[in-house]
Amino acid sequence: MLRVSLREISAALKEGRVSPTELCQRCLSFIKATKFLNAYITIAEDTALKQAEESEERYRRGQILGDLDGIPVAVKDNFNTAGIETTCASNMLKGYIPPYSATVVQKLLDQGAVLLGKTNLDEFAMGSGSTDGIFGPVRNPWSYSRQYREKSVQNSHIENEDSNWLVTGGSSGGSAAAVSSFTCFAALGSDTGGSTRNPAAHCGVVGLKPTYGLISRHGLIPLVNSMDVPGILTRCVDDAAIVLGVLAGHDPKDSTTVQDPFKPFELTSFIDASKLCIGIPKEYHAPGLSSETLALWSKAADLFENAGAKVIEVSLPHTRYSIVCYHVLCTAEVASNMARFDGLEYGHRSSMDKSTEVMYAATRREGFNDVVRGRILSGNYFLLKQNYETYFIKAQKVRRLIANDFVNVFRNGIDVLLTPTTLSDTIPYVEFIKEDNRTRSAQDDIFTQAANMAGLPAITVPTALSEKGLPIGLQFIGRAFQEQQLLTVAKWFENQVKFPMIQLQGMMDHGHTICHHQKSAFFS
Amino acid sequence: MRKSGGGRMWSLRFGRSIRGSPSGGASHWGGLSPGSRFTQAAAGGSDGRQEAAGDPRRRGRVYQNPTWQHVEQRPLPEKKVTVEVLDHLERLALVDFRNWEGVQRLEKAIQFADQLHAVNTEGVEPMDSVLEDRCLYLREDNITEGNCTEELLRNARETVEEYFIAPPGNIPLPKLEERDTFLQVSE
């Protein structure tokens, strides 16, 4: 039952085939059974059960709040949740209990959703592996799938089973792993340079980064204010549309949300492909693109063409500089944003108290990991008076060129761009950590951060399994605020490719903590 | 269960099997497309407008080879940052480099950023936000929340009555030589 989509479980709740409490309990036990994935930092068992009970009462009275009533969801641990610890996977915020909830969290709760817990991430969402947080790395559920295991045995990829588990991608790796391993029906991530789409692609789920300004950032602990957006991770495109419908819209508490009214939509299964124009940006064949991803991308282009769509090669000439530009703007905004963590009002505080400045410096030394400190230092370097024009203003100019590249292709009749989401399928943790965080992010965000720089909506759709039996996703980038068109195309594509469901029986044979009666209950 | 219906799943079985080399090359392409209309595309122009207008001979193709190379692969002048600047950064950022790797991390970050100088940005206005063409929302200047002093103070480690407590102020961070920093050693 846990493996169905949000839409299906919603129907089951409405028809009384399952009760919110039963559903919540099942998810909670499954979270415990899959604890070794390290997808969750905090499990909010008590409040979740209470929320489920309240939902049950509403179903009993026939007064449900909406499609999400009674649906178990998870939220990345960089969104504030009133009364529930919010850590950003950092020592700096360990033990921090926010006095308020992020607007998006509140909207989920107002719809009756059941918040199961907070998911793991890279410290302050800085990373592309979900390997750099204080609670340890997240394990990709596909490491334990039948699909991957069978291939591994054939190709003897795995000598030592336990050291060869795969990374989820990041930084919303906990959310992606949670949706992929069926412990919740939807999860919130955040997306600054690809942090929702990257782990979604590596975990074989749908990851949506909405248009900048469509969804409130209030209560999302900021990384890069001009690019951050809350992201949505679900098992299918329809589910993403449902969650988007709940979250989108103006928030008086976030002045960067636009005031245009947003109308929730349902997606049609049918599209008139002949009216569709798909752009293939040639610069997205970047160095390092795996031959498998390239082949799938090409096949996807043909699929649209054969269905009658116009498929046109386009050029986004500044693509190669995009990741460099992102690097400068990101570190500069990080340097500014992280200034708020000083030990005085909340979070970690050092015991060194010779002076305020000494306390600040010691607090930040103790509270931040190397990656965060590194980004703060380089951001400060780019913002130095003597470097401001050369690096920061220069990067802001390049950002305009990148945004204009998109304006040009959309102005010339392209509806949606089709690109890879990542260079290749995911890799084992032991391989991943051979490169440092900056190098990894530069490789892993290469196809995703441009949409953040231009503020455009983008979605990754799981497309096929690689030779190794691991998911590969393709990305669609749409026009600003044209989520309906983007998701309609994505859904059509999803229906064509029939991505296989993860087979997790293998996970249960992994020798981790699960009882046999649970095994049969959850995988029947 | 979703997507349990008929129909074939997508797989990567073309004429010739492709082993997943993570940095895969073009050499695998032989089996993919016998007619290889892909090869000619590499000569494509760079003007987005022209191509978006559509050339019927060049529809729906994905380039066979990478269309660009990392600048990083060419030798770039190494970036060295003086101890004065490093000291200045530690004071500004209120975080320290901790060790030699910390300094190297900065130098590599600068070297990476230096690729931007290859872009011609003459006459281009810097872009702060993608919403620059809209008016940002300003709400009425009315009090909407408050009376939460206790709640807010609860997250601070040191408070007295309704105050956050800081150690003695207006004392600058000690000079490089008096500070506990790795930079002394590197000097």
Q: Which residues of chain A have pLDDT under 50?
A: 511-524
Beta strand pairing call for A206-209 and A229-234 = antiparallel
Q: Mean per-residue pLDDT for B74-87? A: 80
Q: How confident is the model over A183-238, as pLDDT tens digits?
A: 999 999 999 999 999 999 999 999 999 999 999 999 999 999 999 999 999 999 99
The pLDDT tens digits for B105-141 are 999 999 999 999 999 999 999 999 999 999 888 888 9
| Nearest Cα residue to A288 out of B72, B38, B75 | B72
| Cβ atoms of residues A216 and A175 within 8 Å | no
**Dist CA A306 CA A284 (whole Å):** 22
pLDDT over 60 (residue B72): no
Choice between A471 and B9, residue whose per-residue pLDDT is larger: A471
- Going by DSSP bridges, is the β-strand pair A471-478/A416-420 parallel, antiparallel, or unpaired? antiparallel
| A380, two tokens | 């400060």
Q: Which residues contact B30 (CB under 8 A, 6 or more apart)?
A: B15, B16
Confidence of residue B57 (pLDDT cuts 50, 70, 90): very low
In Å, the largest CA–CA distance within chain B is 80
Surface of B (38-77) touching A: CB under 8 A:
38, 41, 44-49, 51-54, 58-71
Give the tokens for residue B138: 């300003």
Helix (H, G, I), strand (E, B) or coil at A130: coil
Higher pLDDT, B186 or A320: A320
The crossing angle, in degrees rounded to 10, of helices A20-33 and A45-61 is 160
Three-state SS at B161: coil
Contact at CB, A99 and B2, closer than 8 angstroms: no
The Cα of B98 is separated from the nearest Cα of chain A by a number of Å equal to 8
Chain A environment of B58 (Cβ under 8 Å): 313
Amino acid at A284: Y
- Computed on alpha carbons and rounded to an integer, the radius of gyration of chain A in Å comes to 22
B143 touches chain A (CB under 8 A): no
Q: Delimit the domains of chain A by residue range.
A: 6-317+403-522
User: b or e along A362-401 (b: 16 or more beta carbons within 10 Å of the residue's beta carbon)?
Assistant: bbbbebbbbbbbbbbbbbbbbbeeebeeebbbbbbbbbbb
pLDDT at residue B36 in the model: 31
Average pLDDT estimate for B134-151: 89
pLDDT of residue A156: 59
Whole-number pLDDT of residue A1: 82
Residue B145, pLDDT score: 86
Mutation target among A380, A382, A393, A481 for the B interface, most CBs of B within 10 A: A380
| Residue A269: per-residue pLDDT | 86
Q: Parse chain B into domains and list their residue ranges.
A: 69-117
Coil, strand or helix at A458: strand
Place of tokens 């203003």: A393
* pLDDT recorded at residue B31: 28
For A273, other C-beta atoms within 10 Å of its C-beta total 18
Res. B74 pLDDT band, cuts 50 70 90? low
Distance from CA of B35 to the nearest CA of A (A): 14
The domain covering A6-317+403-522 belongs, at the CATH homologous superfamily level, to Amidase signature (AS) domain (3.90.1300.10)
Residue A321 near residue B116, CB atoms below 8 Å: yes
A118 is catalytic: no
pLDDT in tens, A277-308: 999 999 999 999 999 999 999 999 999 999 99
Among A92, A381, A385, A400, which would you mutate to test the B interface (most chain B Cβ atoms within 10 Å of its Cβ)? A381
**Residue A505, pLDDT score:** 74
Please name the residue ranges forming H helices in A384-457.
394-411, 429-432, 437-444, 449-454
Q: How confident is the model at residue B4 (pLDDT cuts 50, 70, 90)?
A: very low
Q: What is the ipTM of this complex?
A: 0.92
Instruction: Say whether A377 and B18 touch across the interface (CB within 8 A).
Output: no
Q: Specify whether the backbone of B60 is left (phi greater than 0), alpha (psi in -120 to 50) or beta.
A: left
Please report residues of A whose CB lies closer than 8 A to that of B181. Answer: none
Return the structure tokens found at A117.
């817990």
